[in-house]
Structure 1
Amino acid sequence: MVLRPPVEPMLAQARETIPLPGAMPGGGMLIDPKFDGFRCLLFTPVEDGQPVVLQTRRGAMYQARFPDLVAAAAQLPRGLVLDGELAVLEEGQLSFTALQRRATAVRQARVLAAELPAHFIAFDILQADGRELLDEPLWRRREVLEALFADHRLTPPWTLCPSTTDLAVAQEWLTEWTDVPGVEGVVVKSRAGRYRPGVRGSWYKVRRRATTEAIIGGVTGSLRHPQVLLLGRLDAIGRLRLVGKTVPLKPTPSAEVADQLTGADTDHPWTGVRFSARWGSRDHLIPVLVEPRCIAEISGDTAQDAGVWRHPVRYVRLRQDMTAADVPTFGGMQRHTG
């Protein structure tokens, strides 16, 4: 069977630590760095007249937005389906902000392709020469993927994602590589695993997390029963800027925070501001604004865009020994804890 878009990508379960090899199905694992881009499946034509297709995780077709990758696909053989990460370089570093700009500015696609070149970081191959490989074990698919890069001498924008079976190397990636913009953790996969579209199966993502502080500027729920904390930091001129939101609080921390909250006056800096329910969503939260004086210690991953966390962070505790002046400024570095 020849694969045709859309195909749901296989998904990963979140884990706090890298699983031990014996805990993986089949007893072995392959570990890849987790790059901070857009998940993407690339399809090359099987027959004349068919287009190159770039399909996002949610099934959107992005080939018109990335004409540079479509043109570069002439290097690739027919009947190929790659799974990987779509990324953009800006000033020599991976930039999620630049990637978003390219993904949304359709009318400027060709101009931006010259200014902000896209790259495809391939970590799996689902079809080669028109032959579907979903039921092949991962170790065999990796061999085919490596052979593709070697046989066709592929160069950027095509990049072969690094992979290792060495737990010490993977731990180094998790602790050292994540200091580099654009790398947010590792993905652990069963070497014997088959590719299961849309399934959270034998893949596990482990993000590096760090603790830091932020100011509680609002909550969802109520003052007596806060559910989600809306977090801010002061910018260079003292304005409170939204930097993220927490996952829903459990009852004990919710009660702890509620004891310290005070409802805000009408001069709160976020009065009238609309808050998205989640990254990229058009749905909005209905916040209860509070006096921005309570400081929360939080744990977040490294995926940020211009100082704002893209994923919900975790509440750790209140820092009653700190004031807003002690909190890192908007865009300031967080403290890594490994």
Structure 2
Amino acid sequence: MTHSSQDKAVPSSIPGLGVIIMAAGLGKRMKSALAKVLHPVAGRPMVMYVLDIACGLAEQGVAVVVGHQGTEVRKVVEAVGGQVAVAEQTKQLGTGHAVLQARPVFSGGAHRRPSRYLILNGDTPLLTEATVRELLAMHDAQGAAVTLLTAVLDDASGYGRVIRRRRDEWLQGAADNAVQSIVEDKDASEAERAVREINVGTYVVDGEFLFPALDKLDPRNAQGEYYLTDIVQMAVQQGRTVSALRLREIDEGLGINSRVQLAEAEQVIRQRIREQWLEAGVTMRDPASTWIDAEVTIGRDTVLYPNVTLEGRTVIGESVVVHSGTRITDCAIGDRVEILDHCILRES
């Protein structure tokens, strides 16, 4: 039995790149006993989407910083294996403190001495590898100390603001209108809160700059925390280049902090999955009502009727017909099989 996929070449890793994923947050607004980064999106813990990017890019290892429900998050992360390691943030002292906990992971010899670090949040499942590669390319081309991902929002409330040299020109993106700092919402002045360009929370940082800068962080701010964002102003003060890539697809920057945002992310991911399989030769009579988890595999020339649900690690062969109302979970279906309406199949 053969199975269709996107048939794309696997992109190569980036020489000299280490990746740090922040996954220690409590996620109070989720109102859940489950750690935020373990909430499923299209059948997978949201942190796994970020790990996919990290593992595809990192040559010098991946460090995942865990904290709240660290044991549970560790189990999920360590199951990935390979070059993924876990660091623990025992006290929640801010994003800068979280990244600092990853330092021992990258102190194990020449093979773990990145020339630059990619820093990601574990609650951004919509971020794409293509965007991250573009961010890395900008960082390298400009010889930057820090390169950050930004977005422009109509309502920037709650987000850190990107402060540029001339605020009246920030929307025009003038080449010489350089980033000066990032100001967190709780620390922002009225004028700074009027800025609509926000920090997404994805960074590339020079390998020689990152940890020495983190050692100098000062928690004297509105939240009493060590802000990772303060390294931007440090770089500027040292005369280093700070670059910024503005997202074209704002959805990619969506961090999951509430059940509403989780539902929004679910819709985006599921639409991406549907488009992936449509492009791979699968027919859907009503795509909007077709529910396909991220780890499902479907063969070409398969036809899915309305209200079909494919869950878990289900594998569907080629030229299969699945009629309306059927739910298939963790099953392997051979080629040229017809499944009638309203069937429920599990682990077969």
**TM-score normalised by length of structure 2:** 0.28
**TM-score normalised by length of structure 1:** 0.29
Greater helix proportion: 2
